[in-house]
Amino acid sequence: MHLAENVYFSMAKETTTFSLWEKLQAVYEKKSSPSKLILIKQLFNMKMRETNPATSHINTFSRVLSELSSQGINFEEEVKALALLSSLPASWEVFCTTYANSRPILNLDETTGQVLTKDIKEKSMGLAIDESAEAHHSTELFDRQSRTREQADRTGRNTNRSKAMGDQQRLKSRMGRSREFYTHSRKVGHNVSDC
C-alpha cells in the first residue's frame, strides 16, 4: 500500500493492515451527518446531461451509492432503480415511464442494463442519422452545383442569343428600317417578300 507522505507520518505507528485500515477509515471516512447529507443530495439531485454517455452517469451514480453504503445508508433495490430513472434527462421520460410501468418491482441491475441498452441503441441510431444527414447534405450540395451549372449554361445561351440579336439589330440598321428580313436565315439582304 502506498500512502502520501503527510498521511504516512500520521499512520506510521500502526503495525497491522487491519489497524491501519481502521485508522484510515476513522480519519477519512467519517460517518457524520454532514457527509451523509452531501451524499444524499448528490444522489437525489443528480441529473444526466443530454450529451453525456449513460455509462459515465451510471458510474457516478454507483459511486455515490457505494459511498452512502460505506456510511451505513442502504436503500432497497427498487428505490435505487427509481432514483436512477429519475436522474435521466427529460428526453428519456417516455422510456422511464414505460419501463417503470412494465415491471411490478424494479431492480437496479436490470434497470441499469436497460438504460445502457437504450443508450447504445440511440448512439447507433445517431450514427445512422448522422450518416444519412451527411449523405443528404452531399446530395443537396450536388443538386446545388448542378443548378449553378445549368444557370451558367442558360446564361451562356442567353449571352449567345443576345449576341445574335445584336447582329440582327446591326443588320436592320444597315438595311434600313422599312425592309423586313427573316431573322433565322441571317442573310444580309434576304427579305421577307422574297420567300
Is the pLDDT assigned to residue 181 strictly greater than 60?
no
pLDDT digits (tens, 9 = 90+) for 53-95: 999 999 999 999 998 988 888 999 999 999 999 999 999 999 9
- 130 lies in a domain? yes
What gap in Å lies between CA 171 and CA 153, rounded to an integer? 27
- 173 lies in a domain? no
pLDDT digits (tens, 9 = 90+) for 111-160: 999 999 999 988 888 755 444 555 555 556 556 666 666 666 666 655 55
In this prediction, residue 92 carries a pLDDT of 93
pTM, whole model, 2 decimals?
Answer: 0.53
CB 106, CB 134: distance < 8 Å: no
Provide the residue range defining the domain that includes 134.
50-159
Average pLDDT, the chain: 76
- 88 lies in a domain? yes
Domain count of the chain? 1
